[in-house]
A and B are shown apart, each in its own frame.
Chain A
Amino acid sequence: MFQFARFAATRAGLAIITLVMVSFIVFTLMEFVPGDCAERYLAFKNTQGAGISIADIEAERVRLGLDKPYLIRWVTWIGNAFQGEFGDSCILRVNIAQLLGQKFWISLGICLASLLLAYIIAIPVGIISATSKSATLNNSLRFVSYLGLAMPNFLLALMVMLFTTIVFGDTMTGLFSKEFRDAAWSFDRVKDFLSRAWLPILILGWSATAFAIQTVRALMADEVGKLYVVAASARGVTGRTLLWRYPARHALGPIINSLGFDLNRIFNELPIVALILTLTEAGRLLFEALARSNDQQLAGAIIFMLTASIVGINFVTDIILALTDPRVRRSILG
């Protein structure tokens, strides 16, 4: 038990070190964005007719703490970030935690749903494709999963839009219909949300599924030929029981381990898909912050939260693997 706790603590420590490193990279990047918050705010004031001077900009800098050295600002930023506090957005002038709150969880939910969808399809299909002898089945599965790799999500989203506009005359975009857009959460709103969210989930899940099928297939193909499988079938275990009890259990371990990176890949596509389907969630906000308004505070906060969720999932999967896989457990407990 003590050894397990030590293992968990080491992993948690490593996760936090990774997060700190990531935050440094993100913070440095945001620092390179031309101009800073003070200039941007006063430029905005200028458009409102208020005359501003260099002294005003300097005063604003002092107020925002931008005159302090780089490292100190980074330490303050990361200290606040770990408490879920990201300050105010440069452009929108609202608290980022409030602005992001719900939107971020919606995005995370969509991504996790796509991930779930991908593995619900990929695990049985991958196992079948690794064990079946039929060349036609194998080749067609291979083609479909290559198509998933070759046709990025945003092209698929465009195709779906093209198709739905021609056939239904509706682009199927957005996450809520008009009457629910600003309503409080209620049963009807959830229903409305689900009736629209399946499309982004499907689109984001598309290439994730293709990728997952390839991984499951490769891992299964490696395990199926091993001697313990032969031994089990010699003892009379056959068919689905054989596959499920022996090779599949071994093959699926590495998959649990890579869930974090799978989520990374799905997050990756979210801003662009969100842009095409005009979703109002964090991916879209990130895009706006980076491409339209250069809002470094907001962009930094979103990227940090994304990576924090990925690091978090990596940590959880490590622990799950240590609990479930006897080989890993043995290596920890010595």
Chain B
Amino acid sequence: MTDTVNTDTAHNDENVDQKLKEAYFTASQGQLIWTRFKKQKAAMVGATVLIVLILWGFFAPFLTPYDPTIAGRNENYQNGAPQIPKFWDENGFSFRPFIYTYERTRSIKTNFRWVTEVDREKRRYVVLFPQGDKYTFLGMNFSTHLFGVDKGKIHIFGTDSTGKDIYSRTFHSINTSLAVGTIGVFIAFVLALIIGGVAGYYGGWTDSILQMITDAVRTIPAIPLFMAIAAFIPDHLSSEARFFIISIILGFIGWPTLARRVRTHLLVERNQEYVLAAQLCGASAGHIIRKHLLPSFTSYIIVDLIISFPYMVLSETALSFIGLGLKDPVNSLGVMLQNVTSADVLLNYQWYFIPVIFFIILVLAFVFVGDGLRDAADPYGDTKK
């Protein structure tokens, strides 16, 4: 009896093993990359954080309590400190978290400057799903937000000099930065595919000349180049138009590195035996490119795109920070940091720096995911060490 069970399980094991092997050999490139990617802890953590932040940014209109533009400002709480909800204080415990009431006063005592005073006796309670500023999401109009307070407004990250909620701005700006990065990467990718593709496929003289141009573009430091191009954007353009122009500029400057990669892939792949085999079978050039060459490196190109993504986001941030990129009604980290170098902010309003933390986490997550993907996409990655 026991014997039969044993042979049974052994048989099962063999079966499973066989199936695993079969799965391994028949897996597509995407599946292989995913299997290797899953093994890397740091990259998986990065991916989780990244997905959470992207979703947070995507659902920002609902998850944040106020409109991030001037429409959602709190004129009674400018340059206000973060208001952290509490459960208890010297006046007792409450199941519902609360914040205090803040009042702006000025009198002879404060030398006629506006001063915010905290009234610890008047509690305001946090409520879920209140009706607030209207927003459009997926083409529909809503006004429900995740949380708010019963009276007045709550600012968990504080407010800026015009009274805009920093928490709302931070997560709306993730959206903007991702959008700029996506458009930039897409344009860079199309340019890289055309230029690198032509250079790699034809080789020879065409390749040499295109390589020289690519190298010349690479020699010019990118940010001065950004600055030079961004300086042409007329000031009177609407913020949306500016947004698109900035993304396009980022794309136009970001292509050389990608183009080099595409070219290298193509130069290596077009001399492979499977291409020769296909040619001997009488396949046309178009068929070879579509069915054999492109699938052989699409996954690597996707990895390259993800790796270059955070640099696009950072460039946009740097450009907006110095005032040449996006401008006020659009929210991005650079826009939010425009005024922080003043001594006033450094000494008194340090909560202006809170968004920085989220952006470092976002970019760090991207870098980890990109690096994990690069390792996973390397077919010789397993054999080393």
Determine, out of A43-51, A147-155, A181-189, A234-242, the stretch whose residues face the partner at the interface: A147-155
Given contacts A149-B367, A165-B343, contact A306 B221 (CB under 8 A): yes
- What's the Cα separation between A154 and B42 when bound, in Å? 26
Answer whether residue A268 sits at the interface, using C-beta atoms and an 8 A cutoff.
Answer: yes
Given contacts A146-B364, A158-B340, A171-B343, contact A22 B219 (CB under 8 A): yes
Which residues in A have their C-beta under 8 angstroms from that of B228? 26, 29-30, 33, 290, 299, 303
Given contacts A149-B367, A165-B346, contact A287 B220 (CB under 8 A): no
Determine, out of A4-12, A52-60, A81-89, A270-278, the stretch whose residues face the partner at the interface: A270-278
Which residues in B have their C-beta under 8 angstroms from that of A147? 360, 364
Among the listed B216, B314, B359, B364, which residue makes an inter-chain contact with A25, where contact means beta carbons less than 8 Å apart?
B216
Q: 8 Å CB contacts to A: which residues of B177-234?
A: 212-213, 215-225, 227-232, 234
- What's the Cα separation between A138 and B57 when bound, in Å? 32
- What's the Cα separation between A18 and B363 when bound, in Å? 34
> In the complex, how many residue pairs between chain A and chain B have their CB atoms under 8 Å apart?
133
Among the listed B314, B353, B366, which residue makes an inter-chain contact with A152, where contact means beta carbons less than 8 Å apart?
B314
Which residues in A have their C-beta under 8 angstroms from that of B314? 152
Q: 8 Å CB contacts to B: which residues of A235-264?
A: 260-261, 264
Which residues in B have their C-beta under 8 angstroms from that of A303? 220-221, 224-225, 228
- CB pair B341–A302 under 8 Å, yes or no, is no
Among the listed B231, B318, B347, B384, which residue makes an inter-chain contact with A154, where contact means beta carbons less than 8 Å apart?
B318
Given contacts A150-B310, A306-B221, contact A22 B231 (CB under 8 A): no
Which residues in B have their C-beta under 8 angstroms from that of A276? 341
Determine, out of B17-25, B110-118, B320-328, the stretch whose residues face the partner at the interface: B320-328
Tell me what chain A mostly uses at the interface: helix, strand, loop, or mixed.
Answer: helix
Answer whether residue A310 sits at the interface, using C-beta atoms and an 8 A cutoff.
Answer: yes
Q: How large is the interface on B (under 10, 10 to 19, 20 to 34, 35 or more residues)?
A: 35 or more
Given contacts A267-B221, A272-B223, A310-B219, contact A287 B322 (CB under 8 A): yes
- What's the Cα separation between A267 and B232 when bound, in Å? 22
- CB pair B221–A158 under 8 Å, yes or no, is no
Nearest Cβ distance between residue B334 and chain A, in whole angstroms? Answer: 9
- What's the Cα separation between A286 and B322 when bound, in Å? 12
Given contacts A17-B212, A171-B346, A287-B322, contact A268 B364 (CB under 8 A): no
Which residues in A have their C-beta under 8 angstroms from that of B215? 18
- CB pair B364–A286 under 8 Å, yes or no, is no
- CB pair B227–A21 under 8 Å, yes or no, is no
Which residues in B have their C-beta under 8 angstroms from that of A294? 231
Which residues in B have their C-beta under 8 angstroms from that of A223? none
Among the listed A151, A165, A286, which residue makes an inter-chain contact with B227, where contact means beta carbons less than 8 Å apart?
A286
- CB pair A271–B224 under 8 Å, yes or no, is yes
Answer whether residue B350 sits at the interface, using C-beta atoms and an 8 A cutoff.
Answer: yes
Answer whether residue A225 sits at the interface, using C-beta atoms and an 8 A cutoff.
Answer: yes
Chain A contact residue count (CB 8 A cutoff):
54
Answer whether residue B126 sits at the interface, using C-beta atoms and an 8 A cutoff.
Answer: no
- CB pair A33–B231 under 8 Å, yes or no, is yes
- CB pair B227–A154 under 8 Å, yes or no, is no
Nearest Cβ distance between residue B380 and chain A, in whole angstroms? Answer: 11
- CB pair B42–A264 under 8 Å, yes or no, is no
Sample 27 A-B pairs with CB under 8 A, ordered by A number: A18-B216, A22-B220, A25-B217, A29-B225, A142-B42, A146-B368, A149-B363, A150-B310, A150-B360, A150-B366, A152-B314, A158-B341, A159-B356, A162-B353, A165-B346, A166-B346, A166-B347, A171-B343, A225-B384, A264-B218, A268-B222, A271-B224, A272-B321, A275-B322, A290-B231, A299-B231, A303-B228
Query: Which B residues are within 8 Å of any A CB, using their own CB?
Result: 42, 212-213, 215-225, 227-232, 234, 310, 314, 317-318, 321-324, 337, 340-341, 343, 346-347, 350, 353, 356, 359-360, 363-364, 366-368, 371, 384
A271-B224, A272-B321 given. 17 additional CB < 8 A pairs?
Answer: A18-B219, A21-B213, A21-B216, A25-B217, A29-B225, A33-B232, A150-B310, A158-B340, A161-B346, A165-B346, A171-B343, A267-B221, A271-B223, A271-B227, A291-B322, A291-B323, A302-B224
